[in-house]
Amino acid sequence: MPLYCLYIHSIDQSSGICQLYNGTICQHFLKNTHVFIPPNATINELEERLKAAYGVIKESKDMNANCRKYALPSLCFSSLPICRTPERTNLLYFANLAMFTNLYSGNDTREKRSVSKDSKSKHFFLKKKSIFYDDVFSKDVSSKYPPTKESENLKRICREECELLETELCQKEYAIAKRHPVIGIVGVEECQRLPQHKDCSTLGITIEVDETENCYWEDGSSYRGIKNRSITGKPCLRWSWLMKEISDFPELIGQNYCRNPGSAEKSPWCFVDDRSLDRNIESCHIPKCSHNLWLRIILISGLIVAAFIIILLFVFFKKKGSQGMKNIQNINTPNAGDNIYGNSQLNSNQDMGRIPLNSSMEPVGVTSKNMEKNSLLRIPHFTLQDVEFFEELGEGAFGKVYKGQLRQLNKKTVNVAIKALKENASIKTQQDFRREIDLISDLKHQNIVCILGVILNKEPYCMLFEYMANGDLHEFLIANSPMEKKCLLQLEFLQIAMQISEGMEYLSGHHYVHRDLAARNCLVNEGLTVKISDFGLSRDIYSSDYYRVQSKSLLPVRWMPSESILYGKFTTESDIWSFGVVLWEIYSYGMQPYSGYSNPEVINLIRSRQLLSCPENCPSAVYSLMIECWHEQAVKRPTFTDISHRLRTWYDGHIKIDHINP
């Protein structure tokens, strides 16, 4: 066979291409992703094999329940690994064919003869191939690898999880699968051959650990602390070394901490190394929680009494010292749990009566000295005559929000958003309105909608904000979506995400928690300038985004992690989860998260770690960032500083590529 034919045959036999997955068996895991199709196979053939293998798994009565839930994702990711760079992989494959065709097409017969007649032909071929790679793919190192399953830059199963399945959780099932005539054809990953890569396809295996748990209840079967030494001080051995069948006890997977699986003992225990015995069991020195309960109650009661006394002393001396103090108030940073704009959707608005206010939003009778302490003095004050109301934008808990025009002191006019306090507002609503002004008065950032001034001399009292011409981000994305026969560039996606991240980085750095970060609460101005806001507008189009949980406040559950839904815990880390959902909204052109599911169903999906799938045409690196933002453990989510750095790096990289390849 001629050398040309040999090399073409070699390419055809050893390489594959990336195709968009459009099947049904692995839709939950691979929807809208490009998967690697090996040589001599088609995506339809692989789909049929997966159907047959999944049918065997569903009918099997021998598979452990704790192992069964990982069987399908394991099969999907094994047989159809996700391509990290599908465009480059396919370009490389077809460009190779084109190159070889040009080299040996017969246009240069003299060169063809010289290549085929001596022993240097292979060297000549590889040299041409190297020059071609360096010329076309010099900007992407990963694409220099030939497109094969073993060497291509694929997103494969996380090696650590694969090893946990094979050696601990599904030891018996894994061994059977490799030899099974149907499942074996599909292919089960050889864990030792998987690369050590952080960007991998996770099966969702979690090791149950609670570092804060330092005592146990009852017999300790629910203990998940990190004590790993026995009562004699000996280090605990890994459970899988001595308990071969741990499928029924997922709390033992991948660790050597003290546990009491199946309530086998009266307290947590572990295996220790004792050469005098083959299997030596020792209990662990962990206190029982109930033994310390009364001691804790006494200590807490003592601390409460001491704190009460300290507060009384502090108030006494403060009143005594205030008689000779100058009227200066330090500006305090709000608590981390405060919403930057009051989060009007979460506030109760029961009318509890109203007190008259003077021009500084203080109750009548407040002295001028106390007025000087008010942070309102730092904000420009205007009158109703300085403002012209145009149109109503929506209605929040404080009242209606309008588009208007402000005439400034220099006689120039500027478009503004006017947030008005409704008439006959309750005392609590008035206090929240004033507190919101106080909270946002110090916020100055190019990606935060900043307050321009207030109107407090006459009702309706108003806050004036800069007006964003292109409305909220959700509407902007829909208006520029393929449904409207438009589209955004990858560079524009990154530009939007980067601005929101930098705004949130500023807020988190100043100890603010947003609580309702979503595309609807980001505004877009001309030049694709994006700023974070929260006007709390109760428009019908967003009513389905909020859900009343257990007769409490309306919550945006589709943007919330489980710790916020279940325990009402709002932190910077919960804002990071919400940012991951905003990223998903951006790349989905404003699609509602978990569209098609009711709010109660969404809560169950989030609790069971059923995450949003990768949007169409979303880069794998961006989707991986979303997954990191949705980490079950809040402390393992990336910081806004890290997110901003990554987005900035990708954005700058796109600019360089566009500059080099116009």
Q: Which residues are catalytic?
A: 516
C-alpha span between 414 and 468 (Å, rounded): 11
Element (H, E) at 418: strand 413-420
| Locus of tokens 């760079």 | 85
C-alpha span between 545 and 232 (Å, rounded): 55
Helix axes 3-14, 109-117, angle to 10 degrees: 80
Q: Are strands 522-525 and 547-548 parallel, antiparallel or unpaired?
A: unpaired
Alpha helices in 287-340 (DSSP H): 293-322
Are 114 and 139 a contacting pair, CB within 8 Å? no
C-alpha span between 115 and 357 (Å, rounded): 94
C-alpha span between 526 and 467 (Å, rounded): 11
Structure tokens at 151: 């060497």
Nearest of 193, 16, 157 to residue 90 by alpha carbon: 16
Q: Starting at the edge strand that comes first in sequence, how are the strands of the sheet with 381-382 ordered?
A: 381-382, 451-455, 462-466, 413-420, 400-407, 387-395
Q: Are strands 154-155 and 381-382 parallel, antiparallel or unpaired?
A: unpaired
How many Cβ atoms from other residues are within 10 Å of residue 107's Cβ?
9
What Cα–Cα distance (Å) separates residue 115 from each residue in 8, 9, 124? 15, 17, 7
Q: Are strands 381-382 and 451-455 parallel, antiparallel or unpaired?
A: parallel
C-alpha span between 119 and 122 (Å, rounded): 7
Q: What is the largest CA-CA distance in the chain?
A: 105
What Cα–Cα distance (Å) separates residue 306 from each residue in 146, 298, 303, 309, 311? 70, 12, 5, 5, 9
C-alpha span between 555 and 216 (Å, rounded): 34
C-alpha span between 466 and 452 (Å, rounded): 7
Strand partners, 229: 235
Nearest of 286, 166, 317 to residue 221 by alpha carbon: 286
C-alpha span between 633 and 415 (Å, rounded): 43
